[in-house]
Each structure stands twice: as structure tokens, then as C-alpha cells.
Structure 1
Amino acid sequence: MLKHLLVVLLLCFATNSFAQKPILKEKDSTERAQDSIKKIKYLKQLGNGFLPFNYFDADMRYLIKFNQYEGIRTGLGGVTNKRFSERFRLNGYIVYGFTDKRLKFSGGGGFRINETHNTWVNFTYTDDLMETGSSTFLTDKRFFTFFEPRLLNIDLFHRHITKSVALEHRFSDNFLSETQLAVSDINPTYFYNFLINDKSYSNYDLSTLRISLQWSPFNEVSTIDGKEKVKEGYPKFTAQFTQSFKSIFGSDFNFSKLDFRTIQQFNHKNNSKTNITLVAGIASGEAPLTHLYHAYPNNINKETILQRFSVAGLNSFETMYFNEFFSDKFSTLQLKHFFRPFNISERFKPQLVLISRYAIGNMNSINRHQGIGFETLEKLYSESGFEINKLFFGFGLSFAYRYGSYHLPEFGDNIAFKFTFNISL
């Protein structure tokens, strides 16, 4: 905004003081405005996690990460941009884990078959790790942060070699879809056996179909310079169906999954807001632990509060220990109220957030999963707490307390005290 204002002021000054050279000054101001627009686009690319080059945008997600299995994970990745082609694209990455001493990589490409609905056909080959019990939606928009808080403490991964073909299609500005066919070779990195029909599997093959839909009926979308969201509207709805087919391309199991998420946000007049997130999932059939659910725990299995001091996640259960619960059907409810930031000074504006989280779930045929111990969530899991964000260079503090049916005997084991990190480009 200041840059655009500066351009206007310079133009006015030039018009009044140097009327004898209007064409030259008009050209200069136009160039300045164009430079300003380029800088805004450049910063937007950085905010989305890309470092733009001539025909290729480097993906900063792969530069450096850390988890308990790989240790430091570092590499390079990226995707071709519109200067390369508006109809074709190539993407990929290669990373190395210094603790497990393995390379992981992915490569693929796509081509657009319909411009009006932004319809793309994509092909991908991936050899990488995935967190056991995690569930993601194909249609989730890209969300970039400098680091992923939960990733620091995750230790339960399975390796997957996946070949996939996917179809992206935009029915409208507010209704997105993606369909994927994939063949995967799954190999847990921990001791695990899946017992089904008197046969034990320590690794297995899966052939899956996933259909994901995202509906944001109240988003306001601009058609200037492409279709870009200019204002987020609520509620938002996302649903995904997964089907694994036994005996197709050597697949070992037949199971189905249905996942759902809705997000509602109320923006209040005093610059505060309330956010409500409901997530649910159900799996039926011969689903191994790798493809079931956890409730996104984020508490380290250590004895004291200070030993467990780490980074609070964005939507995770801070008092729930890693690998403590797994479910084949579950639901979670998260309530957050963001108070108006404290206007202490121009640069120091901390914000108080009140948080409550609840989870419930169950699991049939728990004896199928051998080699790893865990509990289920038949009773309601509850935790509440608060965050004080942006105290110092984006850092803040988080406190959460575990209570109710899964309250632990030792008082200190129910407490999670961590720091938060909130910053964007």
C-alpha cells in the first residue's frame, strides 16, 4: 500500500513540477507501478512456500525439517511455472534423512485438459515416509509454514512406494474435486503385524481409489488475474471417500474409509474471532493400522513437564501422547476463541487464545494389530488451555490440561507446557 502511495505522490510531483516532460515521467511511474506489482507477486509466492525462478519455482517445504525417525531431513524440490508452460507442468523433490540414512524422492507431471474448469491430469511416483494413522484430504489447499510443529516429535512412520494418477477438476469457484487411483507398497518402519484370515502381514500392497470434494459456499472469489480467493467465507466442508480393492494389481486388503471435516468461524466486531473445527472418520473392512486414525497427538513420551516442553501444533491435542490412541472410527471437536490482540505498542501485539478440544472413537477387531500397544477412545477425551501468541519474534507460550475420562493419576502427566510459533511472510 505504501509503495503504491509513493508512486502516486511521485506522479503528482512530476506532473506539477516537470510539465515539460510528461511522457518521460509517466513512463517512469508506470515502470515503478509494474515493479511494485512484481514485488507483491514475489512476496505472495514466498508466502505460499515457493521461491520463484525463471521457469521453475523452488519448493521451500523440502529445504529442512526434523523428526524422531529421520533426524534432520533436508533436500530440494519444486514445480515448473507458467513461464515454462500453461498446459504442462513437472514437479518433484529429493530429500535425505541423516538418522535413517536414506534418500526419499518423488517425481511427476501433469497436463491441463480444460482451462475453464482448471482440469488437470497428474502422474506421480513417490518413495517416501508417511506418519501412521494420519489422514489427509486430496483437495486441501497448500499451507506453508517455516516448520511443522508436530513433525518434530513423530516417530511412527511407514514407508510407501506409490504410483498414482489423479484428476483435478473445479466444478465452480467454490466447489473443488480430486480423484486419485494409486498402487502402493507399504512397509512399516516399526515392528508391526496385521493378522487377517489367519495370515500375518508385516508389509503389504494396496490398490486404492480416493475421491475428495471441497465445498466453500461462502468464499468470495475474484476473477481478476485468474481465479483467486480474496475473502474466506464460512462454513467450509470437505469430504473424502477411499476404497481399497483386494486382488487388483496385487492388493492384499479390501476396506473403505469415509472422512469429513467442517470449519466454522465467527468474526466479531471487536476484532476477535471464534473458530470451530469438526473432524470425523470411519474405516470398515480389512484396514491395517497404517490407514486407521489417530487424533493428532502432540505430547512426547517423557517423564517431566520440562522434558516434554516442545512446540504446540496448530490443530493437535497437546496433552495426548504420541501412539497412545488409535481408532477405526473417531471424531474430534476443537473450539478456539481468539481475543483482540493487545495493542501494547506498534510492534508488540500479543494475542490470547482460549482452546478446548474433545475426541471420541472406537476400534473393532483390535487383536488384528500385533506388535504395537495402544488404547482406544470409547470415552470422551478432553483437554483445555490457552495460548499467548506473538510475544517475541512470532514466539509465544501454550498451556493445556487433560481432564475427564482419560485424566492420568500423576498430576504432572496431565499438563502440557510448550511454546508456539506464528509467523507468515
Structure 2
Amino acid sequence: MQKYCAYLFFIVCIWSAQAQVPSKVGDTLTVVQQDSLKKSKFFKQIGNGFFPTKYIDIDLRYLFKYNQYEGVRTGLGGRTNDNLSDKYRMNGYVVYGFKDHNFKYSIGGGFRVSKTSQTWVNLSYTDDLQETGSSTFLTDKRFFSFFEPRLLNIDLFHHHITKAISLEHRITPYLLSETQLSRSNVTTTYNYTFFVDNTAYTEFRMSSAQLSLQWNPFNTFETIGDVEMEKEGFPNFTLQMTKNFKDVLGSDFNFFKADFRTIYKLNHDEIGDTFTEATLTSGIATGKTPLTHLYHAYPNNIGKETILQRFSVAGINSFETMYFNEFFSDRFATLQLKHYFKPFNIAKRLQPQMVLISRFAIGDMHDIDRHQEVSFGTLNKGYSEAGFEINKILFGFGLSFAYRYGGYHLPEFADNVAAKFTFNITL
């Protein structure tokens, strides 16, 4: 039996090899280009967070995550692809939290209005959690990170049921837009009361309009076969405006938010190993805005006594010495600077890279007494930390060290120090 299996394996190998051999010598370049195109398309989809199959692309974001409230969060998500239809699409996910013992899900679909401008109208229904104080850009869902380490330590969430209709549109090759109208019911998973207009709210009804713009003026485009590949250029800019309307579909509050982010990267060599990166973010919320829709400053430190007890995973753009839920703001700005040195060429598979890091945040809050049953500070004195990372020491893992100084320096030295490991992978 093993002999016949070996013969079968040999025949399959020969057949596979012949399928790749060009019929003419001049066709060699065509085969190579086709293989390169297939690989480029595959890795582009993986880089966007999807594993392609014939008719459905599996959404990698929902396979496995972990946070302090849900514990292990796992499930399955996906979207239909162009092989099924290039004019209509369906998408959705179902996940389960093993600590809170609840399912969360979303279902949606869309239809294409224009192929040239990539204009889509989308509908969605979502029943899920969101981190309190987080501010996400609508256009960010088109971008994907393989590993989001900061999620491991988050414990402050609110639950929302949201119905939304949105319009995606590429205004120019360099300017993406998304407009969304939504209606949400929001409840916190922690004790919190929003006291405004002589009324105590523990549940919030929201009717919002959002406009998000992603401008990448220095992106470049390359056509491989029939696929256009886009390479990120710097600086790039993201702006989002949100307006919540009181008494529209039963909404409770009037407020306005504006969020901004810009990222700049300066290469110091042709390979791109040595570079400096700067990220500036800011936001402002006016009107009667509950804590759920205000801002934290990307904290990533657990409130435990010793450095070793706080040892976890460093984030990508988070304040490693800032404790979770320590600060909230209705207006804030952060600046993060990173300088990547050339990797140390110790061995072929051992090339760690040192990164110097400096971070600064400032913010404040009006009417802080509206937010009851929670305690937090503001960033009006300015928050500073500095540190370094040694990345990719072994199998993508490295180490991170940061020190908190300035206006919010703590009396005990150890409370100002954060030591963590990092994880970086490259396709």
C-alpha cells in the first residue's frame, strides 16, 4: 500500500510541475508574473485582515482575542467576495466571551453604486461591546493589525446595540470618505451615572451622524497584472466629525466631537530599516457627552503593586506607564515619537532592533461632576513618559521599558516603571 501511495505522490508531483512549466521558453516570464500576482493578491488580502476562499473571505479579527471583561473572546466572521458578486456583499461575525458568557454579533450588507469611485451603501446591525473612552475612525476598519496587544488589559466596556447605514466613497485616489447615520442603545458594564439636566442617566440612546476622511496624499500606486497595489506614503491624515442629535428617534443628548490623527515617517536609509515615526492625535467633545463617548489617552498599564505583576504586552501606540481608567478628557492631544535603529546583525535569524520612544499627552474636562460613581483624573498638567524597545529578539518577541516623569510622576519609583514584552511580525 505504501508503495502505491509513493507512486501516486510521484505522479501528482510530476503533474503539478508540468502544470507550471511554460509551453514555450518565452512564456517563462508570464508564469513568473502570474505567480507573483497571485502571491501579491493573497498577501494584500491577508494584510487587510482577510483569509481568502472561493466565495467568502474569512475575517481574521474575530478568530481569537482576550480582554479583562470577556476573557477569551473567540468566534468567526467573514464577507462575501467578488467571485460571488462584485455588486453586492454580505458581512458579519459571531463571537463568544468565556468570562461574561455572552454572544456578540453583527450582520450587514451593501451594494455598489460606482466601481470607479468604490462607492458602496452599507447597512448593519451590531450587538457588541466597545471600550469606554475609545475613539475609532470609520475608515480604520479598512486597515488591519495582526496583533493588538493593548486589548489584553482593557476592562472598561459599554454594551451597544447599533443600527447603521453608511456610504463609502473614494473622492480621489488619495482621499477616502465614509459617512454614517446610526441609532444606538448604550449601557455600561460597570457602575456609572451621567447626571445632566437634573436627570440621572444609566442608559443612553444615541442618534448620530458621522463623517470620516482619510487623506493619503503621498501614497503611490503600482499595477501588477489587473490588480492595482497601493503603497502607503507619509504624512497621512485622518479627520472625523460626529454629531449626536437630541430628540431624534428618542436620542437623549446633543453633543459634537471632532477627532484628528496624522502619522509621519521619515526613512534614513533606502531599505527602510532606520526611520523616525511621529504620531499626533487629538480630539474634542462639546455638549452633553457621557463618559462612554469621551477620551482616554491610550493607557496600557495594569493597576497592580509590583513591576512584575504589571508585566504584560506593550502596545503599538499606547502609554505603557499610564494606568487603565486613570485619566479621561473631553479634549486632549497626544504626541508619540519613535526612532528605529538599524537592526543588529547578530545572525541570520537573530537581528533585534532597538527603538527609542518618547510620549506626551495633555487634556482636560469641563463639568467633571456630571460623571458619577467613577473616579479619574485629568491631563491638564501634561503627561510624559520615555523608554525603549528591543524588538524581534526571538520569534518576533522583544522587551519594552518605559519611565513616567513630569507632572504626573508618582512618589514610589517602581510605580513609574513599566517593563513588558513586545511582539512584532512581518509578512
Q: TM-score, normalised by structure 2?
A: 0.91
Shift of residue 68 of structure 1? 0.4
Shift of residue 424 of structure 1? 3.0
Which of 370, 373, 390 is matched with 1:371 structurally?
Answer: 373
**Structure 2: runs of 5+ lacking an equivalent:** 1-16
Structure 2 CA distance for partners of 1:39 and 1:276, relative to 1, 3 Å: closer
Please give the per-residue CA displacement for 1:73-129, whole angstroms capped at 9, x wherever unaligned.
010000111101111110000000011000000000011101111111010100000
Alignment correspondent of 1:353 = 355
Alignment correspondent of 1:76 = 76
State the secondary structure of the residue aligned to 1:248: coil
Aligned residues: 406
Task: Note if 1:383 corresponds to 2:385.
Answer: yes
Shift of residue 152 of structure 1? 0.5
Which of 291, 294, 298 is matched with 1:292 structurally?
Answer: 294
Alignment correspondent of 1:6 = none
State the secondary structure of the residue aligned to 2:142: coil
Question: Map of 1:15-414 to 2, 5 A cutoff?
Answer: 23=23, 34-140=34-140, 142-224=142-224, 225-230=226-231, 232-269=232-269, 271-414=273-416
Question: Which is worse superposed, 159-168 or 219-228?
Answer: 219-228
Please give the per-residue CA displacement for 1:34-62, whole angstroms capped at 9, x wherever unaligned.
34532443233233322211100011111
1:215 maps to amino acid = W
Alignment correspondent of 1:3 = none
Shift of residue 33 of structure 1? 5.2
Shift of residue 142 of structure 1? 3.5
Distance in structure 2 (CA, Å) of the matches to 1:33 and 1:218: 27
Which of 407, 418, 422 is matched with 1:420 structurally?
Answer: 422
Contact 1:51 1:59 in 2 (8 A): yes
Distance in structure 2 (CA, Å) of the matches to 1:136 and 1:35: 37
2:221 maps to amino acid = V
State the secondary structure of the residue aligned to 2:139: coil
Distance in structure 2 (CA, Å) of the matches to 1:366 and 1:33: 61
Please give the per-residue CA displacement for 1:194-248, whole angstroms capped at 9, x wherever unaligned.
0010100001100000001111111112355344313x22111111110000000
Distance in structure 1 (CA, Å) of the matches to 2:223 and 2:376: 50
Distance in structure 1 (CA, Å) of the matches to 2:311 and 2:295: 25
Distance in structure 2 (CA, Å) of the matches to 1:335 and 1:64: 30
Please give the per-residue CA displacement for 1:264-286, whole angstroms capped at 9, x wherever unaligned.
11111374111111101000001
Question: Which is worse superposed, 34-43 or 204-213?
Answer: 34-43
2:168 maps to amino acid = E
Alignment correspondent of 2:13 = none
Contact 1:206 1:245 in 2 (8 A): yes
Distance in structure 2 (CA, Å) of the matches to 1:223 and 1:345: 36
2:418 maps to amino acid = A
Shift of residue 342 of structure 1? 1.1
Contact 1:105 1:128 in 2 (8 A): yes
Structure 2 CA distance for partners of 1:206 and 1:77, relative to 1, 3 Å: same
1:91 maps to amino acid = N
Structure 2 CA distance for partners of 1:217 and 1:46, relative to 1, 3 Å: closer
Distance in structure 2 (CA, Å) of the matches to 1:357 and 1:97: 33
Shift of residue 27 of structure 1? 6.6
Shift of residue 25 of structure 1? 6.2
Structure 2 CA distance for partners of 1:240 and 1:145, relative to 1, 3 Å: closer
Distance in structure 2 (CA, Å) of the matches to 1:277 and 1:29: 42
State the secondary structure of the residue aligned to 1:250: coil
Distance in structure 2 (CA, Å) of the matches to 1:24 and 1:370: 77
Alignment correspondent of 2:9 = none
Please give the per-residue CA displacement for 1:159-191, whole angstroms capped at 9, x wherever unaligned.
000000000111111111110000000010000
Distance in structure 1 (CA, Å) of the matches to 2:44 and 2:139: 21
1:340 maps to amino acid = K
Distance in structure 2 (CA, Å) of the matches to 1:223 and 1:171: 20
State the secondary structure of the residue aligned to 2:415: helix
1:161 maps to amino acid = I
Distance in structure 1 (CA, Å) of the matches to 2:43 and 2:118: 24
Superposed CA RMSD: 1.9
1:72 maps to amino acid = V
Structure 2 CA distance for partners of 1:62 and 1:184, relative to 1, 3 Å: same
Question: Kindly, what percent of the aligned residue pairs are identical?
Answer: 64
Shift of residue 29 of structure 1? 7.5
Structure 2 CA distance for partners of 1:358 and 1:28, relative to 1, 3 Å: closer
Distance in structure 2 (CA, Å) of the matches to 1:39 and 1:227: 14
State the secondary structure of the residue aligned to 1:38: helix
State the secondary structure of the residue aligned to 1:234: coil
2:66 maps to amino acid = F
Distance in structure 2 (CA, Å) of the matches to 1:386 and 1:362: 28
State the secondary structure of the residue aligned to 2:409: coil
Distance in structure 2 (CA, Å) of the matches to 1:246 and 1:413: 43
1:228 maps to amino acid = M
